[in-house]
Amino acid sequence: MNELFKVLFLTSAIALTAGCSNSDNGDKDDRCQPDDQDGIVGGTNTVLLNVSDTAFAVGGVKSGSTQPNITVENSSTVKLTVTNVGKKAHSFKVACIPSGLPAGCEQTSCFPNEANIAAIAPGDSVSVTFLTPAVEGNYQFTSNEPGDSVIVGEFVLN
């Protein structure tokens, strides 16, 4: 009877431990998963963005838009095309934000490197496709070419 009890106890302990472990099979620690305020994640977005010598503007080259901010869902696929309508080269770089997650979790949330675009010559366009971060918030983007400190916008992730 004692041997049967030991076997049953050991089997139960192993099953409980395996069921609660954070193993190498891709499970993630739930406390390190950001909240989603609107309950909507994902999707696919095509975004056209112009950069002039003074500002970013969402929309096609002749759209007349002056809106510098891009609003999409978190964890969504974005195909971004940036067109330089200015007279000098401009780039596109997205800044990181604090993640707001507890200690022991990633403390910053960043767009992938694929979202950043090196200097674009006047009249040229560059397209990139990437997945937006899971952490909702406002991620500032800039052109980090010399003299472009006033050229800013935001990726607003809902």
**117-140 tens-digit pLDDT:** 999 999 999 999 999 999 999 999
Distance of CA 148 to the CA centre of its chain: 23
Q: Which domains does the chain have, with CATH numbers?
A: 28-157 (2.60.40.420)
d(CA 16, CA 25): 17
Residue type, 128: V
Q: Which pTM value belongs to this model?
A: 0.80
Which pLDDT value is given to residue 39?
83
Pairing type for strands 77-84 and 125-131 reads antiparallel
CA-to-CA distance for 97 and 106, rounded, in angstroms?
Answer: 11
pLDDT tens per residue across span 9-19: 444 443 333 33
